[in-house]
Structure 1
């Protein structure tokens, strides 16, 4: 490693930085929970996974409440996962063509396919469904 100009402690330093980032995210989750108590509307209505009249199956603050994107990036870093649909939470076909469209019904009823494409076709409700960090 040293002959290649690489830091011999690189893995150790990277793990320390990752651990610090996870600790920061956990701290942020606590701040978010405190903020939710002051929302004008109940968090269950605006920050949780639920049926609603929008094209999304979650409240608009869901990804904030869950620190979803931070946790997805942690998963990308851990697994070096480059799947464009990793942790997809939106139903792309329903958003483009409307729920109940024949193409939406077809995609929703597809059997499991190649893992990355499957995440494009079948949205997840939580990052834990794909092995996300806690």
Structure 2
């Protein structure tokens, strides 16, 4: 979160690059062969989260600061038709919009990190209750603290 690195997705959504924001530094391609990458998300530790809208459903990947992306299974998100996602800054929750035939669902999964490191684990995503006659299609999501 120190503003020294950037990650971008190609205009066709098929690849991602990262770069150190220093004069003369060249970007490094970190992900190729994707179908439709959504906007990547950084968390507090410098991990970058990706969701690829593959024909078989969402593929969630996480990449450490000096690592390559690794696919992780997020029950209730992986394999679904995900149109938007966010990871909380503290990397404790993943929220996604899952497209349904008539109405989108907003779902949340807890992210569990081991003190010993390794890949995070996820709880099964559960739908976030909606009040009243909420919009049928979700166009954007964001975090808010009380």
Question: TM-score if structure 1 supplies the norm length?
Answer: 0.25
Greater relative contact order (Cα < 8 A, sep 6+)? 1
The structure with the larger Rg is 1
Q: If each structure's helix is expressed as a fraction of its own residues, which one has the higher value? A: 1
Question: TM-score if structure 2 supplies the norm length?
Answer: 0.24
Q: If each structure's strand is expressed as a fraction of its own residues, which one has the higher value? A: 2
